[in-house]
């Protein structure tokens, strides 16, 4: 079932009415014209510098740069790159965290006529080294903070450029090497089915097209203030980055790995954010920390993407934000950019089980295909395939994989088709519902994960003989990565050991939340993995390095129960590491908010990372005594502790009975 001719106005009337609400109060919106896609990013940015010289371009913490200041800094970086590498298109690695340095380096690289490869310093050394080697970059740009890591990565084989060491008196005159719209602008590395990350190639034209779609759908103006909550090294990090800087708007980076709860909400108000974009899990965490008294007078649009929305997300939006803003559910991929969007306001009624990803975007067509590549009819389920002139160019140095995933469209010309591996179903009016993956990829916290890469990393451990990794849905519409493993003869690796092994090889979102030891990986009669025979994680405490030690004081029991609730475990010891139990930064933020409310004590979220066990946290929070009456939970909460412990005990009994029956 093929889309009708795609376009920004080809929406049902109710969607057009909601979209019309997405207007900045100043009314200063200027449409991003189709012709503006046929230039370089540096050229479009130069136009914004000329028009909005003194407008704030980027603000991080107390530091803000105008478009003029950002342009001067990017020119210095561009000249430094050219001084070391000379002219000509080539990849330049950028080992920098989200923020001013990263944005400046990306612009400087493009001004030098080269293309950038973003490297998130929080990723494991082995993954960063693999990306740098695959990209073939001869220069790595970094700063003083990441200089030591950069030196270890390059080992003298790649040149280093320290942005903090650049001469501030050096020339900052405008510099923009000629680049055509078809030239590469960046490589975004994603999980690879071969066990190595693969680089998705993006041209200036494709990034400008994505910026155009975002701009025109959201009516972005120079008065807007956009969040950058995604890592800039993933596909989702591209959208607000360029939609802001190529429109004269202000970009506001914020690290949700540090605090995704109440602090994020306060920051949105303080910074007068107008356009918010995150994965649904971060939105849920932020909304869960709201008291109902907060006001977001400037916020006019909330964009959620990267993972499926659920009806509860719409209810959270209506409860806290609907009076002043719209909600936009979008779906895309690193290879396609945005392919569908669905506008929601306080009048929108959603199905009780799913939220649609909606309708076509300009110049992009979505088809649903069967296994043989033929379009399915009516409301049948098929694989989502995207036809467009603005797809990614393919995979860096992987011609065979590019040919397998990207096909020439029957119409010829520059139209191509990308098969996403996602399943979908369409309503009669063309509205698309996303139904999950059809292959071995899963979405974990908005990241696409090839389970094969996780399996290969686990098999590198000498104590693992066989392994299967899958994604399992959990409450709230998220996906939990679970690893099933068989121990090698004479070996019995525990979860702590396996996690430490993976932490050296994979980013945190690719580390399974649960590990299940099996006698053998179940297979079907034809030798394929038998998914139906894989047991659910049983909610029991995993095998760790630390011996189990039960909580002794009421305070320890209060904190331990909060851990059990957040992690979904029936038992937690006071010396158990939160992350070894399957925790991640988003769950840690939930725990932080819960503990602050229950203990009636505020403390910095970062201390949760520094004190990842119950015992360490108690000693940090209350160094003088283990059981302070003035700070402990109230009587109602103590009663809830008892009830919670009873429920957990009943659950453990039930699970034990099920195991014995089996």
**pLDDT tens for each residue of 293-324:** 899 999 999 999 987 788 889 999 999 999 88
Domain final residue, candidates 501, 533, 565: 533
Res 625: pLDDT: 57
Q: What is the dihedral of CA 287, 119, 606, 278, to 10 degrees?
A: 0
φ, ψ of residue 388 in degrees (nearest 5)? -165, 160
Res 635: pLDDT: 38
What is the domain extent for residue 526? 441-533
Res 177: pLDDT: 72
Res 582: pLDDT: 80
Which parts of 22-167 are beta strand (E)? 56-60, 63-66, 91-95, 115-119, 139-142, 159-162
Q: Please count the structural domains in the chain.
A: 3
What is the C-alpha separation between 83 and 424, in angstroms, rounded?
Answer: 50
Report how many helices (DSSP H) and strands (DSSP E) the chain contains, helices first: 19, 26
Same domain for 528 and 558, yes or no, is no
Same domain for 617 and 518, yes or no, is no
- Structure pTM? 0.75
CB contact at 8 A, 81 and 139: yes
- Answer whether residue 588 is part of any domain: yes
Neighbours of 18 (CB within 10 A): 20
Same domain for 575 and 467, yes or no, is no
Same domain for 75 and 132, yes or no, is yes
Half-sphere exposure of 486 (CA within 13 A, CB side): 10
CATH at residue 634: 1.10.1200.10
CATH at residue 490: 3.30.300.30
Q: Compute the radius of gyration of the chain from its Cα atoms.
A: 25
Could you say which residues of the chain have pLDDT below 70?
1-9, 176, 192-195, 259-260, 352, 378, 439-440, 475-477, 523-529, 538-540, 625-662
Distances (CA, A) of 389 to 37, 417, 593: 12, 9, 46
Half-sphere exposure of 438 (CA within 13 A, CB side): 17
**Residues 380-395: b if buried by 16+ CB within 10 A, e if exposed:** eebbbbbbbebbbbbb
Neighbours of 319 (CB within 10 A): 11
* Bridge partners of residue 110, in order along the sequence: none
Report residue 247 as tokens: 């429109």
What is the C-alpha separation between 435 and 202, in angstroms, rounded?
Answer: 27
Coil, helix or strand for 444?
Answer: strand
Please provide the DSSP assignment of 515-574 as one string.
EEE-SS--B-TTSSB-GGGSPPP-SPPPP-SSPP----SHHHHHHHHHHHHHHT-S---T
Res 194: pLDDT: 58
Res 455: pLDDT: 84
Same domain for 453 and 565, yes or no, is no
Domain final residue, candidates 127, 153, 180: 180
Res 445: pLDDT: 74
């Amino acid at each position: 079932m093929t889309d009708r001719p795609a376009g920004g106005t080809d929406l049902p009337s109710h969607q057009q009415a909601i979209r019309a609400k997405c207007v900045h109060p100043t009314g200063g919106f200027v449409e991003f014209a189709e012709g503006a896609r046929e230039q370089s990013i540096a050229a479009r940015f130069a136009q914004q510098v000329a028009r909005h010289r003194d407008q704030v371009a980027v603000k991080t913490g107390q530091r803000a740069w105008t478009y003029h200041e950002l342009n001067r800094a990017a020119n210095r970086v561009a000249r430094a790159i050219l001084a070391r590498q000379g002219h000509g298109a080539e990849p330049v690695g950028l080992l920098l965290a989200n923020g001013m340095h990263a944005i400046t380096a990306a612009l400087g690289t493009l001004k030098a006529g080269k293309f950038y490869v973003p490297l998130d310093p929080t990723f494991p050394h082995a993954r960063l080294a693999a990306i740098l080697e695959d990209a073939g970059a001869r220069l790595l740009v970094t700063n003083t903070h990441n200089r030591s890591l950069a030196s270890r990565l390059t080992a003298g084989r790649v040149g280093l450029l320290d942005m903090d060491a650049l001469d501030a008196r050096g020339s900052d005159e405008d510099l923009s090497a000629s680049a055509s719209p078809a030239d590469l602008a960046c490589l975004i590395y994603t999980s690879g089915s071969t066990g190595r990350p693969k680089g998705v190639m993006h041209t200036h034209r494709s990034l400008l097209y994505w910026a155009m779609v975002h701009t025109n759908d959201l009516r972005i103006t120079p008065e807007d203030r956009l969040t950058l909550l995604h890592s800039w090294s993933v596909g989702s990090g591209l959208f607000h980055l360029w939609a802001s800087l190529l429109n004269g708007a202000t970009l506001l980076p914020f690290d949700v790995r540090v605090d995704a709860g109440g602090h994020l909400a306060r920051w949105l108000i303080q910074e007068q954010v107008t356009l918010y974009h995150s994965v649904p899990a971060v939105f849920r965490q932020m909304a869960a920390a709201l008291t109902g008294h907060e006001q977001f007078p400037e916020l006019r649009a909330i964009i959620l993407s990267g993972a499926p929305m659920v009806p509860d997300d719409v209810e959270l939006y209506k409860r806290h934000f609907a009076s002043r803003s719209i909600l936009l559910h979008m779906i895309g991929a690193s290879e396609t950019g945005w392919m569908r969007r669905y506008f929601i306001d306080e009048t929108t009624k959603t199905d009780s089980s799913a939220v649609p990803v909606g309708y076509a975007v300009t110049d992009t067509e979505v088809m649903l295909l069967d296994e043989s590549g033929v379009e399915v009819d009516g409301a049948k389920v098929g694989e989502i395939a995207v036809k467009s002139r603005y797809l990614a160019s393919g995979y860096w140095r992987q011609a065979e994989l590019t040919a397998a995933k990207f096909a020439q469209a029957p119409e010829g010309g520059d139209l191509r088709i990308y098969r996403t591996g996602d399943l979908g179903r369409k309503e009669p009016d063309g509205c698309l519902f996303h139904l999950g993956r059809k292959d071995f990829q899963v979405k974990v916290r908005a990241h696409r994960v090839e389970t094969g890469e996780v399996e290969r990393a686990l098999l590198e451990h000498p104590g693992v003989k066989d392994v299967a990794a899958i994604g399992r849905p959990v409450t709230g519409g998220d996906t939990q990565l679970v690893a099933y493993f068989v121990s090698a003869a004479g070996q019995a690796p525990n979860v702590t050991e396996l996690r430490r092994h993976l932490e050296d090889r994979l980013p945190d979102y690719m580390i399974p939340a649960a590990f299940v030891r099996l006698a053998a990986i179940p297979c079907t009669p034809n030798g394929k993995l038998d998914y139906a025979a894989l047991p659910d994680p049983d909610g029991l405490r995993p095998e760790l390095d630390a011996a189990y030690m039960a909580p002794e004081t009421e305070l320890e029991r209060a904190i331990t129960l909060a851990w059990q609730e957040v992690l979904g475990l029936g038992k937690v010891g006071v010396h158990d590491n939160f992350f070894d139990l399957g925790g991640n930064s988003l769950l840690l933020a939930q725990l932080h908010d819960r503990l602050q409310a229950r203990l009636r004590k505020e403390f910095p979220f970062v201390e949760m990372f520094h004190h990842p066990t119950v015992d360490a946290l108690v000693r940090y929070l209350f160094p003088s005594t283990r059981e302070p009456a003035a700070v402990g939970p109230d009587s109602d909460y103590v009663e809830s502790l008892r009830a919670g412990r009873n429920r957990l005990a009943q659950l453990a009994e039930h699970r034990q009975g099920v195991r014995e029956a089996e």
